[in-house]
Amino acid sequence: MHNILSISHLYKTYQSGFQALKDINLEISKGEIFALLGQNGAGKTTLISIICGIVNPSSGQVLVDGNNIITNYRDARAQIGLVPQELSTDSFETVWNTVTFSRGLYGKAPNPTLIEKILKDLSLWDKRHNKIMTLSGGMKRRVMIAKALSHEPKILFLDEPTAGVDVSLRKDMWKLVNILKDNGTTVILTTHYIEEAEEMADRIGIIHSGELIMVDDKLALMTKLGKKELTLELQNPLQSLPKELDLTGLSLSEDKCELIYRFDSKDEDINIAQLLQKIANLGIVFKDLHTKQSSLEEIFVNLVNSEANTHEV
């Protein structure tokens, strides 16, 4: 069986001569929640726009549910719902009409029951007779999502779905994505809120300067690249690290007041109790201790920085 989305050797150079995408290869299976992370200008919107047929690729191939986006555009596009990064929704139409019309554009038979369900899921039911222009920004964004879902797409693209929206809409969005996932819809989203990717995604792709530098399972990414850190605040500063504590990953802070132990999250054999015992045996007293696990955000920043450094050479 083919994947719901298959991208191979995709390149994009804009007319200005700017190369926005370089050799993108990506396979997404049905029902996956995929988060695309990258800094401003990394190429996220360009990639989504190509898949949705808004921007032409320079070379390479994209198949949506087996349909080539160039030679079989209509069938490919019919599988896709898109909520673009830039909203353009100032309309005199009502919420109900806009969403119903949007379904019609895809040649689908009217389905008021479905539209009702979508509007209810998005907490827009009470506003269904309101003109779009009278809605708040967050509600307009919900209308865009309702429109994108109106023709029952197999893949939903959300380009920065929660940029500038309040916490409650963000939480609603996460809930909605979970409902879609349960229905078997594939969701591909871009976000600058890394905690959002951490919360929702099954897999994460990191794009940097037009290149997909990493694609991995979220949990694998976090255990592979994540570190844990144990910090002991000492009662009295140490002059140097005692040789008994010469252990990989253990260091003394610059001000000599903290012992810091960094270890891989995946390393389960590390015995913290033994380490603490050793420290106690040496008569070293600490007044406080804390641990921290690196977040997806730190992993992301480290990756992008190290990538930038490699290219500087």
Ligand X SMILES: Nc1ncnc2c1ncn2[C@@H]1O[C@H](COP(=O)(O)OP(=O)(O)OP(=O)(O)O)[C@@H](O)[C@H]1O
* Rounded Cα distance, 190 and 158, in Å: 6
Binding partner at 161 among ligand X, Mg ion, none, C-beta below 5 to 8 Å by kind: none
* Contact between 37 and 191 (Cβ < 8 Å): yes
Closest CB to Mg ion among residues 87, 245:
87
CB nearest Mg ion: which residue?
45
| Cα dihedral sign, 136-140-141-145 | positive
> Minimum Å distance from CB 168 to Mg ion?
24
| Amino acid, res. 200 | M
The option from Mg ion, ligand X, none interacting with 46 (CB < 5 to 8 A, set by class) reads ligand X
Q: How far is the CB of 11 from ligand X (least distance, A)?
A: 13
Which residue, 44 or 127, has its beta carbon nearer to Mg ion? 44
Whether 242 and 252 have beta carbons less than 8 Å apart is answered as no
Shortest separation between residue 305's beta carbon and Mg ion, angstroms? 21
**Between 21 and 132, whose beta carbon lies closer to ligand X?**
21
Phi, psi of 268 (to 5 degrees): -90, -15
DSSP tag of 109? P
Site for Mg ion in 75-94 (CB under 5 A): 85
Query: Which strands sit side by side in the sheet containing 186-190, from one edge to the other?
Result: 80-83, 155-159, 186-190, 33-37, 203-208, 211-217
The residue (of 85 and 89) whose beta carbon lies closer to Mg ion is: 85
**Per CB under 5 A, 45 contacts Mg ion:** yes
Q: Which does 91 bind (CB under 5 to 8 A by kind): Mg ion, ligand X, none?
A: none
What's the min distance (Å) between Cβ of 188 and ligand X?
Answer: 13
Binding-site ranges for ligand X (CB under 6 A):
14, 16, 18, 20, 38, 40-46, 85
Instruction: Count residues binding Mg ion (CB under 5 A).
Output: 3
Contacts of 37 (CB under 8 A, 6+ apart): 190, 191, 194, 197, 204, 205, 206, 207, 300
Residue number, 163 or 241, with CB nearest to Mg ion: 163
Closest separation in Å from C-beta 77 to ligand X: 19
Q: Are 19 and 12 in contact (CB under 8 A)?
A: yes
* In the complex, least distance from residue 46 CB atom to Mg ion, rounded to whole angstroms: 8
Which of the listed partners (Mg ion, ligand X, none) does 16 bind, with a CB threshold of 5 to 8 Å by partner kind?
Answer: ligand X
Q: Which does 42 bind (CB under 5 to 8 A by kind): ligand X, Mg ion, none?
A: ligand X
3-state secondary structure (DSSP) of residue 269: coil
* Site residues, Mg ion (CB under 5 A): 44-45, 85
